[in-house]
Structure formats: C-alpha cells, structure tokens
Chains A and B, each alone.
Chain A
Amino acid sequence: MPGEILGLLGKNGSGKSTLIKILSGFHKPDEGTLEIDGRPVALPIPLGRSETFGLSFVHQNLGLLPEATVLENLIAGDHERVSPWFINWNAEAARARGLFEEQQLDLDPWAVVADLSPVKRAQLAIVRAADRVRAHREHSSPGILILDEPTPFLPIEDVRELFAMMRRLTQSGVSIVFVSHDIDEVMEITDRATVLRDGAVVASFETAASERSRIAEAIVGHSVTQGRVVGDSPAGDVVARVEGLAGAILKPLDLEVRPGEILGLTGLIGSGYDEVPYLLSGAQAASAGRLTLASRTYDLTTLKPAQAIDAGIVFIPADRQKAGLSLDLSLTENAMLPLAVRGEGRFRLDHRQREETTAGLMRRFVVKAQSPRQAAAELSGGNQQKLLLGKWLQLGPKLALLDEPTQGIDIGARREIYDRLMEACARGAAVICASSEFEQLEMIAHRVLVFERGRLKAELVGGDVTKSSIERACYGETKLHA
C-alpha cells in the first residue's frame, strides 16, 4: 500500500532472499504474477530494470564504494539522468544537498564514504535508492523501497535514527518493504508484517495489534527434533577460561569450557558469536580479553596464531578455500604445514615420511582421494573439510575452535566430521564451535550460548539444547528491547 512499511520476516532459508532476487530480476520465478500500482508486471523482470517499475533495493552490504565520495556514490549507475560525456559536479552537489536537506540528513557530498559512520552509510544507501525510484518512475507514484536487512551491524540508537528516516520517506508516499530477522525492529517500525517459512507465506499481521510471541511462533513453526549425538556434559575441571573478551561487535564476554566438552555458540546474523573463534585463536586481535588455558594466561589483544598453536589451540575457519587449505597445493603440503611451521624437518624434509603421515591421516579422517600428492582443489568440499580437520586435530589440541564446520557439506561427511570431533573430545580436547545451524548444535553441543547484539542472551545446557529451544532463544524477547 502507498506509504506503508511492510515487514518481511523469516529465518534462514525461509525464502526471503529468493523473493528479493525475483523482484530484482536475478532469479526467474517458477510461477506467479506481480502487480505494481494495480498494473500487472511481466515476469521475469529484466535484470537491472527493476527501477523502472518503481522498485529499488538496499542490500545488507549497502553497495557503496568506500573509497569514493558521497556524491560519486550517489550518482553511480544513474545512467539515465547523468550524461556519460560530462558531469557537472557543482550542479550534482547542489542537487545532492537538496536531497539530503529534504530528508534531514547531515551528509556532505564531498565526504569520502569510508570516513562516514555506519549509520550515515546506511542513510546514504537508502536515500540513493529512494532517489533512484523517484527519478526513474514511468508513472507518477513514488515507488517501493526494499531494504534487505540494513540494520544487523548497527547499534540500537542508530537503528532508531534509520527508522526516523524511513518514516519521513513514507510521508512522501514511498512504500517500504523491510526485511529482517529481528522481530523487535519489525514491531517498532512496520505497519504490517508478513512471515515466510519454507518458501510460503504462513501469516500476516497488523503489527500494532499483534503480540510479539505470536509472530515469533509463526517464524519458528514446529521444528522436528534431530536427536542428540552427544552424551552428558563431562564433569572435569575447567581447562579454558575466557575473561572480558571483546571484539568488533562482541561486548565483554566471560566463558569456560571443560575437557571433552563441545560448547556451541550461535545467534542471529550480526550478533557477534562468530567472532569468538577468530579472537581466541589470534586470527583477529581482540579489543580486550584474556584466555587462561591449562593454567597459563594469554593476552588476546596481542596473541598471534603461532603462539596460540604452541599453547595447544587449533582453529578451523569457515572459509575453507581461502583460510583453511591452499587449494593449489597438495594434500601432503596442506596437511603437514603445521608440522613444518613448528620446525619438523627444518633443513631436511622427508617427503616419503610426510606422504605416509598424510596417508595415515587420510585413513583416520576418511578423506577420499587418489593420492596424498593430489592438489587439494581436486577434492570435494566434504573431503577438503575432513582433511582440514585432520590437519589440525593431529596436533592433539587442548582447545579446538571451529567456525561453521560443515558449511556446504553433505550429510554423510557431516556425520564423519561429528564423529572425529567426538573422538577429539574423548581424548580430552575442549571444543568451541560457532554455528548458524541449530540442528547441528542440537546434535553435537553439550552446551549452547545464544548471542544478540554482541551480548550473551541465553545459555542452554544438556537436554535443553534442541533446535526449537535455540530458535526460541534467538527470536525470543530480550531485556534489551523491553
């Protein structure tokens, strides 16, 4: 409806992104029709032409070039208005100032985007999209903005500022579709909300007249329990203690793990849980925090990966193709690198022995490949991940850190990866696993910490670790918004 803000809610994989990709012309729909302002629109929309139908998008990454100025970003891609042969920069700057004034934004056309605060960047992206639909509309109504999760990395005060801007835009008649994970934000800003689950609309709400818990229920639905693979939480003394750990999003956090325990970390996008493995392994410098492991204390602001490895910490990153393995190089070279770095065979590498050790690892970790001399690129994702696990677990770590350990991997390989993790636990390793897959945590985690906006929100232990309880914790009410 004109001037309305519609919320679009749903968990990962519920079909929000698919819908957006259809509207932007990126995907072809299987069936269905689209009407804008009462006129039917032929589908698929040609890629890049959605603006002429009055649709404009702001994606989560905002699509701004950080090195360029506000003005350059504002007119980038505005081919229909800006001549390809000549740009009158002064006139464009005056036009931009008018636009910013109208939206009550404090933006300087000549400022460089990289120097702007995150909220100003988001404002710029939105005002650009609004300007684009308005300028290119074939007929006179003011168009529809589709904001795809523009808020998860913003602090709450900034989100409010953005909301004020969205309300001003709607007063001029622009309609907004606000896509989000965050029920509280949707409750606050939208007039109506539509919930998607498994690709279908499951409910629509007049947000002012609806209860939060009903919306949350519609998002989560009834999920099937996967059944747990892990047993009871191990007793034992704490092996690793983290105090005051803070990162880019993460607010000071304390946590403890015991030998043989698998601790899951999760939350919605932008909640900061996925920073923890990077900060504890020295892959990224923490802004504050200390780690005590086996009664030695490490300063996490200065910890380097080499020191972490010496301390018995291993880290298996999510980006297996860039940070986990070098795909050009052989399985042996990849698997033996940790040993080479620690000085094994410093001046006389024994290639035969390295290959034999690798072959042994490949058997233990069920890596299916022709030969240890093969390039890692020739393996499937699952086998690469198993090799990566072998590369690190062969060191017999005290603390193993994982980020999304089964991304893009089939069920069979997942199961093998879980088994290997359990074995490492049985040998006394503590495991911290960041994951956005709740089923996975239900299966393998003794304990799960749920995060929101950089803070710990809930802790689930033992039998309470189920997919639906994690979902409830993620989408549930918080003190912060209350």
Chain B
Amino acid sequence: MPNLAYQFERFGLILVWLAVIALFGAMRPDTFLTWSNFSSIFGSEAVLVIVTLALLIPLTAGDFDLSVAQTLTFVSMLTAILSARMGVPLGYIIPIVLLCGALVGVVNGLITIYFRVHSLIVTLGVGTFLHGITLWMSDSQTISGVSRALMQYVIIQRLFGIPISFYYAIIIAAIVWYVLSYTAFGQQLLFTGRGREVGRLTGVAVGRVRVAAFVASGVMGAIAGILYTGTTGSANPNSGTALLLPAFAAAFLGATCIKPGRFNAWGSVIAVYFLVTGINGLSVLGFRTYVHDLFYGGALVVAVMVSQLVSGRKERAL
C-alpha cells in the first residue's frame, strides 16, 4: 500500500513549495531569500492559517462557513474598540470576544439545522450581517491605539526569530490534527460529512455535531481576529474580506496532500505557506496586488480540479 506514487502524492505540495522557493530565490536571492522576509511571512500569515483551520472543521462535517472571515473582522474591531476606546483590560476582552465567536457559531448552526437551509446561504447572510455591525461600530474607520501588551504577545516577541503568533497557529493546527485523527469526535465529524445517513443510523447526533463544528469555527475565527488586531495594532473594518478566498483555496489545496482526499490540518498549513510564498515572491519580482486574486483564485480552482482527479482515479481503479 505505501507505494512511491502515494508518497509522492502526499508530499507533492511540499516539493512544489520548495521548487517555488528555489525559483524565486534564484531570481531575487538578496530580497526574497532572506531570513527576515521568511520570518515576517511566517508571523503575519498566522492569521490566515487559523482562518483556514477554522474552515476545516465545518468542511469536514459537510458544511461551509463563509462567515468566518467576518467573525474575524468583527472580533478584531470589538477588541480594538474595547481596548483603545474603553480601556478594558485584555484579561476581560479575550473571553468576551471568544464568547462572541462561539455565539456566531451557535447562530449559524441552529439556523442551518433547524430550518434546513444550506449552510452556504446561512453563513453568507450571517457574515454580511456581522460586517454591517462592524462598519456601524467603527463608523467605517480603522481603529488604532490598541494596548501594546497585545502586540507584545502576538508579533513583537519572537521565538527562534519567528514572531510568536506563528507558534499559536501551529498549536491550533496540532489540536485540530489531533481532534480529527485521534478522537471519536473526529470520526463523528467525518461521518457527518461523508456519510450523514450512515452516521445518523449508527447513533451519531449529526445535528449536534454540525452545531459543534460551527461553534469551533466561530471560536477559531475569533482567535484569528484577536491575532489580527495584535499583528497590526489596529482594526480595519474590511480586513477579513480579503482572507476568505485564500482560506478556502488553502483548505482545498491542503486536502490534496499529507492525507490526500481529506481536509487535514497539516496539509492546510503547508498550503497556506505555499500560497503566500508564491505571492510574496511575485510581489518581490515587482508584480502588483492583482496577483493576489490571480494566484488565490487560480489555486482554488486548481485544487478542486486536482482533488476531483484524485477521486476520479480511485473510482476507475475499482
């Protein structure tokens, strides 16, 4: 079973990533291939890693959570306002905003399950609604002046030269990986997504599992929101909008490696860093911001095509 082709498939994306690094490194060794460039990529994109991991849980359970990026924006703004405008200490802010994230998940989940509406529609609406609240709260302004302690614990402190936010993302990835692979709940999530009727008849409370998945993604969206505010020291009312598509692209691209055919944590982490390396390299070469959209949009479509090819090949092998 563990043949060469399968191993190549598992680690193919890492090879492509290394090839991309080598390519840009050869073209711009002095700007691209520097430790400071890489450490800033690792640190600043931790937010995107966490958003991607947040998407993973409902995706495994067969649901889309389009509201996660707006949960991030909302929490980021709420953190900034509570800290900069009202002077609430961080020790209160963090539990409050995490609770908000969980609440968004509960709303998404209950509407999806009790009204049997497709999660795509529910979370699109809830996300847009949250964005409206964010704009209202902030008067569409960027809010800065956030407590320096937050930045200290997110981006300023470094471990082995990489901002500490990177390690938060890795810890969350490890937790998601463990839950998906080594817990009974992970198996229940999997069957809720891949065989809902099978799961239901085997006693999985599929409704509750789906709500729990939305709550998990809401909480992780909130964590990403706190880190976002900590990374920039401010909150921008449109910050999350640009993260949704890259996160989806990374989640689907991640499902083509490490554990091909499944949404998986480490695959997603690798996919995020592959995507941002590509974009960073292109911008070092002097391309403008439009490459973001070209690259992320293209990656999403290619990832979905590749995963269809993988599953199509399995069917033919029958």
Contact = CB atoms under 8 A, between A and B. Distances in A.
A345 interface: yes
A328 B185 CA distance: 18
Interface in B147-201: 181-188, 190-191, 194-195, 197-201
A223 B186 CA distance: 52
Given A329-B191, A341-B204, A375-B314, A323 B183 contact: no
Interface of B: 1, 181-188, 190-191, 194-195, 197-205, 261, 314-315, 317-318
Given A345-B184, A348-B182, A328 B202 contact: no
A373 B187 contact: no
Contacts of A351: 182
A377 B203 contact: no
Contacts of A344: 184
Interface stretch (A149-157, A241-249, A332-340): A332-340
Interface string A324-356: 111111000110111011111111110100000
A323 B1 contact: no
B60 to A, nearest CB: 12
Contacts of A324: 198
Contacts of A281: 201
Contacts of B197: 319, 322-323
Nearest to A306: B203
A328 to B, nearest CB: 5
Closest 5 CB pairs of A and B: A326-B195, A306-B203, A340-B184, A340-B187, A323-B197
A326 B194 contact: yes
A337 B199 contact: yes
B200 A305 contact: yes
B7 to A, nearest CB: 15
A346 B183 contact: yes
23 contacts: A283-B200, A305-B202, A306-B204, A308-B203, A323-B198, A326-B190, A326-B191, A326-B194, A326-B199, A328-B261, A329-B194, A333-B187, A333-B191, A336-B187, A337-B187, A337-B204, A344-B184, A346-B184, A349-B183, A373-B1, A378-B314, A378-B317, A378-B318
Contacts of B261: 328
B201 A283 contact: yes
Most chain B CB neighbours (cut-off 10 Å) among A281, A317, A347? A347
A414 to B, nearest CB: 22
Contacts of A327: 195
Contacts of B195: 322, 325-329
Contacts of A349: 181-184, 186-187
Nearest to A328: B194
A315 interface: yes
A345 B187 CA distance: 11
Interface string A208-239: 00000000000000000000000000000000
Interface string A97-111: 000000000000000
A131 to B, nearest CB: 35
Interface in A35-93: none
Interface of A: 281, 283, 304-306, 308-310, 315, 317, 319, 322-329, 333-334, 336-338, 340-349, 351, 370-371, 373, 375, 377-378
Given A329-B191, A370-B1, A337 B198 contact: yes
A343 B187 CA distance: 11
B203 A342 contact: yes
Contacts of A315: 201
A305 B203 contact: yes
A341 B201 contact: no
A9 B199 CA distance: 40
B181 to A, nearest CB: 7
A373 B2 CA distance: 11
A377 B314 CA distance: 9
Contacts of A378: 314, 317-318
B203 A338 contact: yes
Contacts of B199: 326, 337
Contacts of A322: 195, 197-198
Given A309-B203, A323-B198, A333 B188 contact: no
Contacts of A370: 1
Contacts of A345: 183-184
B208 to A, nearest CB: 11
Contacts of B187: 333, 336-337, 340, 349
Contacts of B315: 377
A326 B192 CA distance: 10
Contacts of B203: 304-306, 308-310, 338, 341-342
Contacts of B204: 306, 337, 341
A306 B314 CA distance: 33
Nearest to B184: A340
Contacts of A347: 182-184
B263 to A, nearest CB: 12
A377 B315 CA distance: 8
Contacts of B186: 349
A18 B184 CA distance: 48
B256 to A, nearest CB: 15
Nearest to B187: A340
A19 B230 CA distance: 73
B318 A341 contact: no
A305 B197 CA distance: 11
B191 A337 contact: yes
A344 B203 CA distance: 14
A325 B202 contact: no
Given A345-B184, A346-B184, A378-B318, A337 B202 contact: yes
A342 B199 CA distance: 12
Given A306-B205, A337-B202, A378-B318, 17 more contacts: A283-B201, A306-B203, A309-B203, A323-B198, A326-B191, A327-B195, A329-B194, A336-B187, A337-B191, A344-B184, A348-B183, A349-B183, A349-B186, A351-B182, A370-B1, A375-B314, A377-B318
